[in-house]
A and B are shown apart, each in its own frame.
Chain A
Amino acid sequence: MAPRPKLEVVHAKGKRYDWGFDYARPDPKFPTRYIIPPKGKDPFRIMMRGYAAMETEKDNRVYGGLDSDVRYRNANVAEPRFMEAMKFAVPAFTDAEYQAVTGAGFLVASVKNQEMRQGFAAQMLDEVRHTQLETGLRKYYLKNYHDPAGFDIGQIALGNHPIGTLARASFQPFNTGDPVEVSMCLNVVLETAYTNPLVVALPQVATVNGEHAMPTAFLSIQSDESRHMANGYGTLMCVVQEPDNVPFLQESLERHFWHQHMSMDTLVGVVSEYYAVNRPWAYRDVWEEWVVDDFVGSYMSRLSSFGLRPPDRLGEVARFVEDMHHSVAIALAAIWPLNFWRIDPMGPADYEWFENHYPGWTARYGGLWDAFRAMSDPSSGRVLMQELPALPPFCQVCHVPCVMPRIDAPETRIFDHEGKRYAVCSEGCEWIFKLNPKIYTGCANWWERFDGMDLADVILALGYVRPDGKTLMGQPHLNAERMWTIDDIRRLEYEVKDPLKA
């Protein structure tokens, strides 16, 4: 048999079969302000012959792993505290994958370079694969975890959740706007800087908490993300060589780095520390390793010869990473009746871990967790959100609650724009809002939607009740007994009030 032609030879030959754009009127969905040189490289030299073989093998491994997990009843061996996080975290991932399907398709149509298009075409197929894998993972949880309430409505529940809309806000830029900035957001910032904490480090937390299905699926997904990082690298290296592009790239990097930091550092920090019994590391250290050392140190800082700087707000991000996930974790606990998952109260071993890794944690957050735990039984007749002087507004840009970076010292900014009042959580989000307010003024603030309603009616409107029609999906504990019902909530006579209306 004749030897198989070398990959690099076939790849080079394949590029000669490029086609022009004269068969269709060039009418991009969004125009670009960048000068895009007609050259670009895909470091993986992806060809369908290798792609199909790789993805087949990956799928065989993941679905084989799930079969094994079912046989060993792994979903009920894993720590329930961690499993509850999967009810909101996996739908958030799926939101990202789905937005990225259209994002990669948009890039295929926008980039007039055969080699780059081939990389983006593979990415589009990858994103479909990831959506399917995550849907399969959720079905596995739904069928095998002992308390599946919330897994059944995960995607719609996330879209309606007060903080769950963070996913839509974070991932919509994957397919909306200038094509180069779509790649900057999706490939360069999210996939290169943040998928490593999200899809590599977080599976380690799953593993040490006894959950093996999530690492099986997500480490397989990340092996595709490697190529997506390379798509971003190829795009960036192509456009950064044109000096007129550099100020636009810098602005894009600033915008997306701050926004993805707000959502991803919140998500990974909260899940890895507050939904874990066993913690292999402190999130601050993982952020330092993957985002600062690897993304900034080994990548962004080495582009200075082109005039591109690491993000100016890197120091601010570092300051926020110390505290923000602690603030959001307790905010999620405070609004627990509005969740579609359960929260295990932090206990003495958790307090000790937090104090050791974040000195001062007990003084700052311990009292709030004490109060949450004291009110976890329905007989208490109280919920933590009642005890707060006012509900925090949600950031109009990143959708996290305005308790940033510290719940006791938020840096919220409230301002009027074209006759309407808005809140943002930070200077960075205000800067992003003012870059292009039209992007951020289209959606209502979450509290505004339910202003004046009884909390029980809000929960019913969201559909966050179990099949008996009265027991809440969200619970402030993991006990099978003494679960809160809609009647318990109605007895509170708690009226939801939009904090921006006053």
Chain B
Amino acid sequence: MVAETMADAKITDNDCFYKIEREGLLSFDMADLSERLGREYTVHDFLVNMTSYYGRIVVNDAGVEIHADILPERFRD
């Protein structure tokens, strides 16, 4: 999915984990992942598999986004 939807992302195999990096935004859509897997894949399933991150994360039912911009609107209110 990463290779198709975020072709400019850099994926590194670190033997027991993959590191995925991209300028600006990494976006993981749960509906897309579910369709590709042929079964429901929730944000909680995703977070069990996501070991770590850096940047600013946004979690909701639809997906997980990791932004390079660390000053979000939701923190400005």
Contacts and interface: CB of A to CB of B under 8 A. Distances in A.
Interface of A: 6-8, 39, 41, 43-45, 50, 53-54, 57-58, 61, 192, 195-196, 199-201, 203-204, 206-208, 215, 219, 222-223, 225-226, 229-230, 233, 237, 280, 294-295, 298-299, 302-303, 305
Interface of B: 14-17, 43-45, 47-61, 68, 70-71, 74-75, 77
A219 B60 contact: no
B51 A223 contact: yes
Contacts of B43: 7, 50
Given A41-B75, A58-B48, A294 B16 contact: no
A298 B52 CA distance: 14
Contact of B54 (A39, A207, A237, A299): A299
A303 B60 CA distance: 25
B42 to A, nearest CB: 8
A106 to B, nearest CB: 24
B40 to A, nearest CB: 11
A6 to B, nearest CB: 5
Contacts of B44: 50, 53-54, 57
23 contacts: A41-B74, A41-B75, A43-B56, A44-B47, A44-B59, A50-B47, A53-B44, A58-B48, A61-B48, A195-B52, A199-B52, A203-B16, A207-B16, A208-B15, A222-B52, A223-B47, A226-B50, A237-B75, A298-B68, A298-B70, A299-B54, A302-B71, A305-B71
A77 to B, nearest CB: 16
A222 B51 contact: yes
A291 B4 CA distance: 30
B26 to A, nearest CB: 12
A223 B52 contact: yes
A43 B58 contact: yes
Contacts of B61: 6-8
Contacts of A61: 48
A204 B16 contact: yes
Nearest to A300: B70
8 closest A-B pairs (Cβ-Cβ)? Answer: A294-B54, A207-B16, A7-B61, A215-B16, A207-B15, A50-B44, A6-B61, A8-B60
Given A7-B43, A50-B44, A200-B17, A233 B56 contact: yes
Nearest to A290: B54
A50 B30 CA distance: 15
Contact of A299 (B47, B48, B70): B70
Contacts of B71: 237, 302, 305
B55 A298 contact: yes
A226 B15 contact: no
Given A6-B61, A41-B74, A43-B57, A204 B51 contact: no
Contacts of A229: 52-53
Nearest to A191: B52
Contact of B60 (A45, A203, A294, A302): A45
Contacts of A305: 71
Contacts of A8: 60-61
A305 B75 CA distance: 15
Contacts of A222: 51-52
Given A45-B59, A237-B71, 10 more contacts: A44-B57, A50-B47, A54-B47, A57-B45, A57-B48, A203-B17, A207-B16, A215-B16, A219-B51, A295-B54
B61 to A, nearest CB: 4
Contacts of A195: 52
A39 B75 CA distance: 9
A107 to B, nearest CB: 19
A26 B44 CA distance: 36
Contacts of A208: 15
B53 A226 contact: yes
A3 B44 CA distance: 17
A402 B49 CA distance: 41
Contacts of B51: 200, 219, 222-223, 226
Contacts of A295: 54
B54 A298 contact: yes
Contacts of A196: 52, 54
A53 B52 CA distance: 19
B9 to A, nearest CB: 15
Given A6-B61, A298-B68, A298-B70, A54 B48 contact: yes
A61 B49 CA distance: 11
Contacts of B59: 7, 43-45
Contacts of B16: 203-204, 206-207, 215, 219
B25 to A, nearest CB: 13
B14 A6 contact: no
A258 B19 CA distance: 27
B49 to A, nearest CB: 8
